[in-house]
Amino acid sequence: MSAVVAEHDHHHDDHDHGPAKGILRWIITTNHKDIGTLYLLFALAMFFVGGSMAMIIRAELFEPGMQFVDPQFFNSMTTMHALVMVFGAVMPAFVGLANWMIPMMIGAPDMALPRMNNMSFWLLVAGVLMLASTLFMEGGAPAGGWTLYPPLVLQTGKAFPFAVFSVHLLGISSIMGAINIIATILNMRAPAMTLMKMPLFVWTWLITGFLLIAIMPVFAGAVTMLLTDKFFHTSFFDAAGGGDPVLYQHIFWFFGHPEVYVMILPTFGVASTIIPVFARKPLFGYSSMVYATASIAFLSFIVWAHHMFTVGMPLAGELYFMYATMLIAIPTGVKVFNWTATMWKGSMTFETPMLFSIAFVVLFTLGGFTGLMMSIAPVDFQYHDTYFIVAHFHYTLVPASIFILMAAGYYWLPKWTGHMYNEKIGQLHFWLSTISVNILFFPQHFLGLAGMPRRIPDYAIQFADWNMISSIGGFIFGASQLLFLYIVIDTIRGGTGEKVTDEVWEDAHKHGLEWTLPSPVPYHTFTTPPTVIPTEHI
Amino acid sequence: MSTNDAYYIPHKATWPIVGTAGLMIMLAGVANFLNGSPIGTTMIYVGLLMFIVMLGGWFALQSVESETGMYNHGVGISYRMGMMWFIFSEIMFFAVFFGTLWYTRNLSVPWLGGEGAKAATQQILWPAFEATWPTNGPGKVGGEFEPMGAWGLPFLNTLILLTSGVTCTWAHHGLLAKKRDQLIKGLLATVGLGFLFVAFQAIEYHEAYTEMGLTLGSGIYGSTFFMLTGFHGFHVCVGAIILSVVLFRSWKGHFQPENHFAFEAAAWYWHFVDVVWLGLFIFVYLM
């Protein structure tokens, strides 16, 4: 396999092929690896910014009564924590992985549209900067929840138009990134890399790209109507003028439900890439994985109103959205079954990436089951807007998306840097994270079932115990992530000093093209397409 | 699928950061302007200028690269895919406003009028309200207004836009047959008709505001009417500007029958704008 490593002959133009010097390298780069690094580092920074906001939330909720912040700021924190984590951390981290890995996984020299690739990253920074600037404005940052429901959100102060335009910038950035990824996958594959031989990560991103292009304009349209309702006298969400505030919720969740799958589908892709390598078996049911991903993506467009069961929909709507939502459990179940079957009788080893992946399979399934509970419209009336929903979506995001991002970091860092990370600290990070994330979120199920509402800075005395336990878990989880920061920096600077091989993980070169390349990866790879591709993942 | 051998990968791009900064300054300017801050207007102009400079510079660079043969077949496919998916995103953007129109006309306004299970809503909130269309809602937001008819300027504009689609295709045939004269004439007609459309729409808006009492603030009818037709008009402007650039390049002798992505992209965009208008004419003006 290593015989097909691309020769790095520079034959077709006489441009300087090395990176530019100094800071300028990062500003004007068109290299997919540079841009991938920028995305990943930016996402990591935002993970800590969003995480700090979560720490403020958990500190305030440590005990009943008001301790540290005023309610307005508390609500700003819940809103901004969500927006920063969704648009600043999780999505950019997966786009960063896509940038780094997709060209290397399909045998392409770079992304299809390198200049636009640069612009999508910087638009992301612009959007997040604009969002963060609202924290310092008169009236505070948006505090009506990340869903920006009217009429509440229209009471936002000076921050309001900035929040709307930051959504526009983030949307343009995401659409550009998605177009680039789709064009790369469909147009830049090595001739031998047929669609049904692509690694699952590439497949999930192809489908995620489609989701992004379909939904980001919808969100842009929704916030544009908020803007005109506030400043230009329109009546879209005002019943007095014939509009309807519930309309906003429909539009938002038409965006919002596929949006949460934008964060989970690439997660599935990375898990499907990592698990076979450490189980030393091909992925079980490759084609069913592809079809399950496509099914989940399709279903994501027709289930949105399960976020609004209590809003007062006609009965037919409640029933339709209930049954449609339950359908999602089928393709998702296929996936969980396949991951488990991949590990069945495998020669498993438990390095950090595999540990995080296994924890993902277990804990994501738990989050999925609570999702299934909430799909049942009549019982959702009890769960709606309580900590039960908070527990549910954090189980599908933290020990799922975030854990898999950690796994991806441990899995590919040696390939990117040429250095091995410290396995001992990695495993410590894993165990601390896994234990604390359950201390953090599991009690929130009980709180929610007992009736504790979400988005409140103070609560009745009967919720005190579980909140304190949850906060303790939160603080341990937050502190544990500093270990990851340490490992990333340490690995970039040399790690354990152990020289990693090209394949890094035993027989990984049978699973993906990226492991046929040298470690660390050269600045340009596959300038001529590889002729043979590994097929162990199929 | 392309052979990747000669796929052109540009190194170092300076325009994206200029465009990003311009866009960010412009939008922050609009936000400041809406908040009543005096610095807003200046920021809008500075940002807009940067954005226009970026567009000019970036497109000039691309056309030079294209004309010097740096783009192979594979690059062309990437550009075409990019344009198609961009138009798909635009379709989804318009779908939001069409969806809004559908929802209000078929669901929320009838509900306000007490339809179905919502009879109590009507009795409690606005018992006197009767669900009709067009409406400015039970609060009669924006005061009395006259709805826009379909058979005056809007119908004329439909004919204008449909004709411009024909002239655009005629220009494309000219390009393919190496008839430069036909290409330029066809594009001139298309651009001319495009701006004529915008001019007529400006007249229509002027009449709406000054004579019919129909404004953006005229309840849900005014909101959906101006949002849909306004965003469409903006897209016609953008399309006409893109076609003007293509026209200018045709004058300079750019484009060959086998290499004219810019023309194709502009034409696709124009047809997309055309189709959206047909949707508007049916659902906003006729029905």
The two tokens of residue A364 are: 């994501």
pLDDT above 90 coverage of chain A, percent: 91
- Assigned domain for A492 exists: yes
A527 located within any domain: no
Q: A174, A204, A325, A370: which is the annotated catalytic residue?
A: A174
Neighboring chain A residues of B226 at a CB cutoff of 8 Å? 234
Distance from CA of A525 to the nearest CA of B (A): 12
Q: Which residue of A has its CA nearest to B58?
A: A115
Name which of A16-25, A50-59, A112-121, B131-140 the model is least confident about. Answer: A16-25
pLDDT(B119) > 90: no
A87's tokens:
């648009």
Task: Kindly report the CATH number that applies to the domain delimited by B1-71.
Answer: 1.10.287
pLDDT tops 60 at residue B2: no
Query: What per-residue confidence (pLDDT) applies to A11?
Result: 43
B78: nearest CB among A112, A119, A122: A112
Tell me what pLDDT residue A44 has: 98
Whether A375 contacts A325, CB under 8 Å? yes
- The residues pairing with A419 across neighbouring beta strands, listed in sequence order, are A499
pLDDT at A497: 84
* B contact test, residue of A118, A158, A170 with most B CBs within 10 A: A118
**Which of A15, A221, A241 is facing B93, going by the closest CB pair?**
A221
What does the pLDDT read at residue A398?
Answer: 97
Task: Please tell me which residue of chain A has the smallest CA distance to B130.
Answer: A242
CA A231 to chain centre: 33
**Stretch A333-355: mean pLDDT:** 97
pLDDT tens readout for residues B77-105: 999 999 999 999 999 999 999 999 999 99
Mean pLDDT to the nearest integer, B46-61: 96
Spacing of C-alpha A188 from chain mean position = 25
Of all residues in chain B, the one with the smallest CA distance to A314 is B117
Residue spans in chain B of domains classed CATH 1.20.120.80:
73-286
Contact between A240 and B138 using a beta-carbon 8 Å cutoff:
yes
The tens digit of pLDDT for each residue in A57-73 reads 999 999 999 999 999 99
pLDDT level of residue B115 (50, 70, 90 thresholds): confident
Nearest to A242 among B9, B14, B112 (CB): B112
Q: Is the pLDDT of residue A500 over 50?
A: yes
A230 CA: distance to closest CA in chain B (Å): 10
Give the DSSP letter of residue A63.
S
**In chain B, what residues touch A183 (CB-CB under 8 Å)?**
78, 81-82, 85
Q: Searching chain A, which residue's CA lies closest to the CA of residue B216?
A: A234
Mean pLDDT over residues A305-333, rounded?
95
Q: Distance from CA of residue A250 to its chain's centroid?
A: 23
Residue A530 lies in a domain: no
Residue in B96, B141, B226 nearest the CB of A241: B141
Q: Dig out the tokens for B84 from the structure.
A: 């198609």
Q: Do B30 and A161 touch (CB under 8 A)?
A: yes
Q: How many domains does chain A have?
A: 1
Interhelix angle A200-231/B219-251, rounded to 10 degrees, is 120
Cα distances (Å, whole numbers) of residue B217 to A158, A240, A497, B145, B209: 22, 12, 67, 10, 10
Query: Residue A197, Cβ neighbours under 10 Å: how many?
Result: 17
CB contact under 8 A, A247 and B103: yes
Residue of B nearest to A195 (CA): B1
pLDDT of A9 over the 70 cut: no
Confidence band for A5, pLDDT divided at 50, 70 and 90? very low
The two three-digit tokens of residue A280, written as one number? 């030393």
Q: What is the pLDDT of residue B1?
A: 38
CA nearest A259: which of A327, A170, A198?
A170
Q: What is the mean pLDDT of chain A?
A: 94
* Ordered DSSP codes for chain B: ---GGG-------SHHHHHHHHHHHHHHHHHHHHTT-THHHHHHHHHHHHHHHHHHHHHHHHHHHHHTT---HHHHHHHHHHHHHHHHHHHHHHHHHHHHHHHIIIIIHHHHTT-GGGHHHHHHH-TT----SS--TTTTTT----PPPSTTHHHHHHHHHHHHHHHHHHHHHHHHTT-HHHHHHHHHHHHHHHHHHHHHHHHHHHHIIIII---TTSHHHHHHHHHHHHHHHHHHHHHHHHHHHHHHHHHTT--BTTB-HHHHHHHHHHHHHHHHHHHHIIIIII-
Residue A509 appears among annotated catalytic residues: no
Cβ–Cβ < 8 Å for A530, A2: no
Phi-psi region of B137 (alpha: psi -120 to 50; beta: other; left: phi over 0): left
Phi/psi at A294 (nearest 5 deg)? -65, -40
* Confidence check: pLDDT of B248 > 60: yes
Place domain B73-286 in its CATH homologous superfamily. Answer: Cytochrome c oxidase, subunit III, four-helix bundle (1.20.120.80)
Residues in A touching B16 (Cβ below 8 Å): 28, 115-116, 118-119, 122
User: Could you confirm whether A110 is annotated as catalytic?
Assistant: yes
Residue A303 lies in a domain: yes
Average pLDDT over every residue of A255-266: 97
Q: Which residue is catalytic, options A76, A79, A173, A386?
A: A173
Which tokens sit at A80? 């901004």
Residues A17, A21, A22, A25: is their CA dihedral positive or negative? negative
How is residue B203 written in tokens?
């007249």
Residue A252 in any domain: the answer is: yes
The active-site residue, picked from A34, A60, A78, A146, is: A146
Dump pLDDT digits (tens) for A365-417.
999 999 999 999 999 999 999 999 999 999 999 999 999 999 999 999 999 99
Determine, for residues B30 and A28 on separate chains, whether the beta-carbon distance falls below 8 Å.
no
**Residue A453 DSSP SS3:** strand
Task: Tell me, yes or no, if A146 is annotated catalytic.
Answer: yes
Contacting residues of A for B19, CB less than 8 Å apart: 119
Beta carbons of A221 and B96 less than 8 Å apart: yes
What are B163-191's pLDDT values in tens digits? 999 999 999 999 999 999 999 999 999 99
Of A187, A188, A241, the CB nearest to B139: A241
Interface check for A158 against chain B (CB to CB < 8 A): the answer is: yes
Over the stretch B202-233, which tens digit does the pLDDT of each residue have?
Answer: 999 999 999 999 999 999 999 999 999 999 99
Helix, strand and coil content of chain B, in percent to the nearest 5, comes to: 75, 0, 25
At B5 the pLDDT is 54
φ, ψ (nearest 5 deg) of residue B80: -65, -45
pLDDT confidence of A17, banded at 50, 70, 90? low
Residue B4 is predicted with a pLDDT of 43
List the structure tokens of A96: 């960063």
Across the interface, which of B16, B93, B222 has its CB nearest the CB of A115? B16
Q: Which of A39-48, A207-216, B9-18 has the lowest mean pLDDT?
A: B9-18
| pLDDT, average across residues A111-122 | 97
Dihedral pair phi/psi, residue A312, rounded to 5°: 100, 50
Q: What is the pLDDT of residues A404-454, one digit of tens each?
A: 999 999 999 999 999 999 999 999 999 999 999 999 999 999 999 999 999
Write out the residue range of the structural domain in which residue A320 sits. Answer: 2-516
**CA-closest candidate to residue A408, choices A6, A44, A30:** A44
Closest chain B residue to the Cα of A174, Cα to Cα: B89
Tell whether A270 is covered by a domain.
yes
**B13 and A242: CB-CB below 8 Å?**
no
ipTM: 0.95
Distance CA B172, CA B166 (A): 10
Q: Is residue A529 part of a domain?
A: no
* pLDDT (mean) for A486-510: 92
Q: Any alpha helices (H) in A384-504, and if so which ranges?
A: 387-396, 403-417, 423-449, 464-492
Whether A152 is in a domain gets the answer yes
